[in-house]
Amino acid sequence: MIMQMKDICLKYDDKVLLNKVNETFDRGYIYIITGDSGCGKTTLLNVLSGTTEADSGVVIFDKQILNQNSIHVFRNRIGIMLQNSFLINELTLIENLDFSNITDKELTSKLLKEMNMQDRINIKAGALSVGERQRASLIRVLSSKPDIIFADEPTAALDLKNAELINRYLQAFVEEEKKTVFMVTHKSDVEFEFQKKIKLEEGKIIELKNSKRVIELRVETGNEEGQKI
């Protein structure tokens, strides 16, 4: 087990986004989070990554409850990728990478070469293409040597070639290093080895099958109507 959610509840105004979510997540998998728009996919990701606090319940990472005392250590062990790469436009690519929490400079150099970005390191981030910016974001995340990557629509704005590259490196991160990825996506055709799909509906995680494994993920609501939070 790498992470666990216990009785996680969260609502926004009068809308219940997460309703008593209980689930355990293992190392060595890509968890694909799917569901209709507004169902709480990004909310689930944000609660897991510690960027949003639930109304009630606890999140556990590596057998330790996430709270004010443990969140700093947790954040040093994760990487976050968003649809927007959040590079500083006025800085060059290499300056953006140096500004980040990179622990392995040798890996950074290797990834820059593999992703054909070594000749772009002195270009200001604002002049990079969308695909180049997202490759830079991936290099930044991987070079921090995280245990978990949280990715919110990381390929949504990319062409097929760049999307496949991002997905290939995320697959290798899980398969070769036995790490974990949580990815939000609207793309129903995304398939990885070692994947588990999570589908959210009305604040619940429901059962979903995929071609590799069958996973049953359920939420107890407390009553037939669903518990009011």
CATH number of the domain that residue 36 is part of: 3.40.50.300
Assess whether pLDDT exceeds 50 at residue 208. no
Q: Is residue 166 part of a domain?
A: no
Which run of H or E residues covers position 176?
Answer: helix 160-177
Both tokens of residue 194?
């070692």
Q: Are the C-beta atoms of residues 19 and 9 closer than 8 Å to each other?
A: yes
Assess whether pLDDT exceeds 90 at residue 97. yes
Assess whether pLDDT exceeds 80 at residue 229. no
Assess whether pLDDT exceeds 90 at residue 146. yes
| Res 65: pLDDT | 97
Average pLDDT over every residue of 170-186: 92
Q: Is residue 69 part of a domain?
A: yes
DSSP bridge pairs for 82: 152
Supply angle C-alpha 151, 154, 156, rounded to 5.
140
Q: What is the pLDDT of residues 35-50, one digit of tens each?
A: 888 888 999 999 999 9
Q: What is the pLDDT of residues 185-202, one digit of tens each?
A: 876 666 777 788 888 888
DSSP string, 182-221: EEE-S-TT---TTEEEEEEETTEEE-EE-SS-EE------
| Res 9: pLDDT | 96
Domain extent at residue 37:
1-77+193-229
223 pLDDT tier (thresholds 50, 70, 90): very low
Q: Is residue 83 part of a domain?
A: no
Sign of the Cα torsion 123, 99, 174, 32 reads negative
Q: Is residue 229 part of a domain?
A: yes
Q: Are the C-beta atoms of residues 196 and 215 closer than 8 Å to each other?
A: yes
Phi, psi angles (nearest 5°) of residue 61: -125, 125
How many angstroms separate the CA atoms of 153 and 156, rounded? 5
126 pLDDT tier (thresholds 50, 70, 90): very high
| Higher per-residue confidence, 197 vs 145 | 145
Which run of H or E residues covers position 228?
Answer: none
Q: Is residue 34 part of a domain?
A: yes
Number of independent structural domains in the chain: 1
Instruction: Tell me the pLDDT of the chain averaged across its residues.
Output: 86
| Res 188: pLDDT | 63
Pairing of strands 3-12, 56-61: antiparallel
Q: Is residue 133 part of a domain?
A: no
227 pLDDT tier (thresholds 50, 70, 90): very low
| Res 180: pLDDT | 95
Residue whose C-alpha is closest to residue 217's, from 44, 53, 25, 63 = 25
How many angstroms separate the CA atoms of 91 and 99, rounded? 10
Contacts for 223 with CB less than 8 Å, ≥ 6 apart: none
How many angstroms separate the CA atoms of 119 and 53, rounded? 41
Q: Is residue 154 part of a domain?
A: no
